[in-house]
Every structure is written in structure tokens, then in C-alpha cells.
Amino acid sequence: MKKVGIAYHPLNARSPELTRKLASILESQGLEHWQSSAWDEAELRPHFPGTDLILTVGGDGTILRVAQILDGAPIPITGVNLGQLGFLTEIPPEDGGERLLALLAGKGWLDKRAMLDVVLHQTVNGKKETRSFHVLNDVVMARGAIARIIEVTASVDGAKVDTYKADGALVATATGSTGYALAAGGPILNPQSTHLLLVPILPHLSMHYPLVLHPTNIINLKLSTTNPATLSIDGHISIELHDGASITVKASAKRTRFLRVDPPAHFYASLGRKLRGEFYALQD
């Protein structure tokens, strides 16, 4: 390992101090390093060539932003947690550097996470639009600011599942199964699973069961509404949706990579404590 980047949350008051601490450790090991806001793609992306590892300073949201910009590039991420639950982060803020030094010494393992390919089709002001995204966590089709249900017709491999009269519906990866999908009543999947989740959000007089789908299944969600609606990509990209908009979702060939020091079983060992809120960090 020769070059390591630090992508930090620009609004967290504790980021600068922890970033300096990480930079000092990297310098002590004779490693080239760079620093950038995780929110600034134009600043972040030029650093990628030749980078062997990216340390994120923040929470899971910071990791999702960096993963979105990496877009499946084979650079692993290790998260240093300044957030709350930290399902994706690896190093607690109070760590004295032992875990990072272990990773730099080659004692970690590569955790490859499944992603989604999402294609949005809609007509805006009489003009057809198509946009594509690669997603690590989830894609959510949901109502907008007005608290009225929308209709989302869900199909799998061309077969209609149901029309959800609901706040919306989402498709999640195994990584996203501990996020919004969990809050909406979905199951938790093994982090290395390639299965997909289809989960309605607060359905009213329509099917409320989440579905676990095979990675070869193709999902389509079509919107019917007279009210404002939105599409959310990994919780930080938001797009206004119009009546008739649809998304097609399938498993991606791309992967997001994480470099970890805790063994795979640590996910289960820490799960109960995290869901009980025992790992919440103080927020500034």
C-alpha cells in the first residue's frame, strides 16, 4: 500500500481533528496521502488514480457519498465512525490507531458488496428523460412534501406483484437491508448476499409483505399520482418525479469494496447492540 486518501464529512465539527490524527498515522508509515471533502465530487475524483485505500471520516452517509462517486471502482473504503449506528464503518473514533495500523500491515480482508443498476424513465414538460444510477444501499420511490399516498405498481420480471397504495416503495441491497428497508419492515440480509429486497412503505389496503428476490430478477416500479413525489438514491440524491415515471432495477455487475479488520461474523456479534442503540455516538 502506497497511497491512502481521507474523505471527510465537511460539516462534522470533529472531522478536522480526526483527519489530522489519521494523516499523522499515515505519515508515520511513510505513506503518501491526500484529503478531500466527501461531498465535493470535483475535488475528490481526481485523487482516485493510484489510490490504494480511502478512509472516510463520518458515518454511513459519508461512505454512501464516496461509494456513489467511486461508482464501482476497485478502491476499498474503510470507514472511521463519527456517525451513529455505523453499520458500514469499521473503526470507532476512540481507536488509538491500532486497527488502521493492522489494515496497513495487510491484516484486513476485502468485503465486496452488491450494488444495483437503476434506470429512471419519465416525461417532464413533454420531454422524455432517461437517467441511470449505480446504487449501494437503496432506491426509494416515495411521496413528496404533501402527506398523501401515491400508487406504485411493482412488477418482477414483467409480472405484476401489486399496486401499492402507500407512502412509496423501495428496492434495497443486502447492505441497504439495515437502513430504510428495515424501518419499513423488511428483513436483514447477510451483508455479502446478492439478493434484492422489494419493500412497500406504509401501504394502505394493499400488500404489505416485503419480498426477497433472486439477483437475476428485474424489478419495475411505476408511479401513479397527482401529488408531488420523489426518487431517492442512497439517501442523498433526490429527484422530483412526475405521474407515469418508472424505474427499472436489477443487480449490478459492479461492487463496492470495503477493507475490514473485524471478521465477517462481527456483523452478527454487534447487530443486537446496534439495533438497541448502544453504539450511538454523541453528535456535535
pLDDT for 273 equals: 80
pLDDT for 19 equals: 96
Domains along the sequence of the chain with CATH: 3-108+261-275 (3.40.50.10330), 115-254 (2.60.200.30)
Residue pLDDT, tens place only, 256-274: 999 999 999 999 988 888 8
| pTM to 2 decimal places | 0.93
Set 60, 111, 162, 234: catalytic member: 60
Q: Estimate to the nearest angstrom the gap between the alpha carbon of 196 and the chain centroid.
A: 14
Residue 60 designated active-site: yes
Asked if residue 57 lies in contact with residue 80, where contact means CB atoms within 8 angstroms, the answer is yes
Please compute the mean of the pLDDT values over residues 159-165 and round it to a whole number.
97
Instruction: Indicate whether 197 pLDDT > 80.
Output: yes
Residues 6 or more apart whose CB falls under 8 angstroms from that of 150 comprise: 141, 142, 143, 165, 166, 167, 168, 223, 224, 225, 227, 229
Residue type, 234: D
Asked if residue 137 lies in contact with residue 87, where contact means CB atoms within 8 angstroms, the answer is no
Q: In which residue are the cell numbers 433526490 written?
A: 238
Residue pLDDT, tens place only, 68-126: 999 999 999 999 998 777 899 999 888 889 999 999 999 999 999 999 999 999 999 99
| Cα angle: 66, vertex 22, 111; to 5 degrees | 45
